[in-house]
Amino acid sequence: MVLAMCLMATMDATAKWLVEDYSIAQILLIRFVVFLGVAVVLAWRRGWLATVRSRQPGLQVLRTLVMLAEIVVFLWAFSLLPLADVHAIAAVSPLIAVALATLLLGERVGWRRWLAVAAGCAGVLVIMRPGSGVMGSAALIALLAAFLWALLQVLIRRVGLDDSIETTALWSAVIAVLVLAFLAPFDWRPVATGDWLLFVLVGCLGAAAHLVLFRALQIAPASMLQPFAYTLVVWAALMGYALFGDFPDMWTFVGIAIVIAGGLYAFRRERASLSAHWQEQRR
């Protein structure tokens, strides 16, 4: 999960660079064409019939559409706000994922995790500062992206219970390329020679990030992995400062601290409670 967050932050920083000159659909189409190449290689190694066949085709389609919507909204937010600010607001997504995992997957979540969700909401309000005019409507776009990211993680976890990583990757790539091939030509711009390297880099980083994320969510519950998702804020802050000179202000750091501290406390206490329960069961 930590590796997936690092790859995604690097990919987001590269995509933010491109979104200033190219349409979102064009960036995503080239990215998923690269991803499709990786998925085809994985399918060939595993076997075509075994890879193409999905036990949850409807969920695979839904998950891919949510994935595309999440990426589009994030790129939209990146075009309006600094990289670190977007991910500061998106820091609440692990707590949203906990709530969604309870509602959609039936994962056991104690009251401490629900308290963490409330703390996360408070932290995001500190970051956004409604009425201050600091972030404005762009912050709501980032918040929508955070919700979609949380929903995507839960759907990946659900699909991963029945389908292999190779199947999920192939379905993701094929559906995304079909959708984007229809949308991208409406705002296609010639790619400068020097930018092709950035496009390919975004594609490779995206493919690697999704494969690592699929694997993480396949072998562990979505709610258990969420503390490690907080590292995305750290990676994004480092990338934003190194590439764009952006750095969160004091109140953004305060909000991030509230979200992360509340979440980590709740997960720690919940793990201790579950450990005590298992020990009691063994006795």
Q: DSSP code of 230? A: T
Return the C-alpha torsion angle 21, 24, 30, 34, nearest 10: 120
- With bands split at pLDDT 50, 70 and 90, how would you rate the model's confidence at 128? low
Task: State yes or no: pLDDT of 271 exceeds 80.
Answer: no
Q: 171, 9 in Cβ contact below 8 A?
A: no
Task: State yes or no: pLDDT of 133 exceeds 60.
Answer: no
Residue pLDDT, tens place only, 53-99: 898 899 999 999 999 999 899 888 888 887 777 877 777 777 787 77
Task: State yes or no: pLDDT of 43 exceeds 80.
Answer: yes
Residue 19 CB burial class (10 angstroms; 0-12, 13-18, ≥19): middle
**Angstrom distance (rounded) from CA 26 to CA 11:** 15
Report domain extents, the chain: 2-275
Structure tokens at 220: 């562990």
Q: 192, 139 in Cβ contact below 8 A?
A: no
**Angstrom distance (rounded) from CA 126 to CA 238:** 21
Q: 239, 17 in Cβ contact below 8 A?
A: no
Structure tokens at 67: 């994935």
- Give this prediction's pTM: 0.74
- With bands split at pLDDT 50, 70 and 90, how would you rate the model's confidence at 33? very high
Q: What is the pLDDT of residue 109?
A: 63
